[in-house]
Amino acid sequence: MTLIGFGEAGSRFARVGGWAGQARGWDLLPARRALMPSLGMAPADDPGEALSGAEIVLSLVTADGALDAARDYAALLPAGALWCDMNSVAPATKQAAAAAVEAAGGAYVDVSVMAPVGHDLAVPLLLAGPAAGRADALLARLGFTRRRIVGDAVGRASAIKMIRSVMVKGLEALSHECAAAADAAGVFEEVMTSLDASEKPLPWAERIAYNRERMATHGLRRAAEMEEAARTLADLGVEPVMTGGTVRLQRRAGASKGSQPA
């Protein structure tokens, strides 16, 4: 197995995967490659070495680098190797990546990671594409326990995640904007009390504190993902008005605190 990209998601998968002795990794950043041995990954000296002989590749780069990674490394894949694109990008982006991988003789799989990576490999994965069945078996062998094939068409898994992200990240951005206005007006507690009166699952002050922390920590990565969500909506003929605003707020929040890249 080969893992391309050793940012937050890639390093967490390595930490909980128990893949010592069976996995190689590659990242453009030397500092990230230096971390790989401590997490059971053998760092390659170059992408060609990383991909040589690989049966399955997990691509976990940044959203804005996903297509470039597929195009740059497709020719290095062994014939028939599975390129599991786990990046949060639009269906059209995954279809373009699939074209590059398949033209070079590889097999592309659209994979959406539907929750943050936790302390094990029980994160839900949606798989789509003609090679999804073969990828499902190999991902099971690697220890991923929650996998579901959602169709034969590349882009279907991505569409589910991107459209869901409109709501999830949009609610974060709306709460951030609401809280900013409440702070500026000096009425934060009163507004939170009013919101609590209309909805009870979680106190709004706790929810907003959580959303603010997530945006400050991950805003830059989420902004890149939401740009792809906006593209998804535009491709569907839906004007991404709120989604565009979410991109700007997520990026602004992340830039203010120096958020983590993917």
Considering the domain architecture, whether residues 72 and 31 belong to the same structural domain is answered as yes
Average pLDDT of span 212-223: 91
pLDDT tens by residue, 131-180: 999 999 999 999 999 999 999 999 999 999 999 999 899 999 988 888 98
Q: Which of 153, 171, 196 is the last residue of a domain?
A: 153
Residue 200: give the domain boundaries: 158-257
Q: Quote the pLDDT of residue 33.
A: 96
In order, the DSSP letters of the chain are -EEE--SHHHHHHHHHH--TTT-EEE-SSHHHHHHGGGGT-EE-SSHHHHHTT-SEEEE---GGGHHHHHHHHGGGSPTT-EEEE-S---HHHHHHHHHHHHHTT-EEEEEEE-S---SSS---EEEESTTHHHHHHHHHHHT---EEEEESSTTHHHHHHHHHHHHHHHHHHHHHHHHHHHHHHT-HHHHHHHHHHH--SS-HHHHHHHHHHHHHHHHHHHHHHHHHHHHHHHHTT---HHHHHHHHHHHHHHHHHTPPP-
The CATH number that applies at residue 227 is 1.10.1040.10
The CATH number linked to 104 is 3.40.50.720
Residue that finishes a domain, picked among 125, 153, 181: 153
**Residue 176: its pLDDT value, please?**
87
Structural domain contains residue 24 = yes
Q: Are residues 141 and 26 in the same domain?
A: yes
Claim to verify: residue 141 and residue 174 sit in the same structural domain: no
* Mean pLDDT calculated for residue range 18-31: 94
Same domain flag for 40 and 129 = yes
Of the pLDDT bands very low, low, confident and very high (cuts 50, 70, 90), residue 259 is: very low
Same domain (yes/no): 29, 141: yes
- pLDDT on residue 135: 98
**Percent with pLDDT over 70 in the chain:** 97
**Number of domains into which the chain is organized:** 2
Q: Is residue 141 located within the same domain as residue 232? A: no
Given a cut of 70, is residue 261 above it in pLDDT? no
Confidence band for 232, pLDDT divided at 50, 70 and 90: confident
Least confident piece of the model among 63-77, 91-105, 160-174: 160-174
pLDDT at 207: 85
Q: Is residue 186 part of a domain?
A: yes
Q: Looking at residues 48-65, what average pLDDT do you find?
A: 96
Same domain, 104 and 162: no
Residues 18 and 147 in one domain: yes
pLDDT of residue 32: 96
Please check whether residue 262 lies inside any domain of the structure: no
pLDDT number for residue 258: 58
Q: Do 144 and 201 reside in the same domain of the chain?
A: no
Question: Which of 127, 153, 179 is the endpoint of a domain?
Answer: 153
**What confidence score (pLDDT) does residue 84 get?**
98
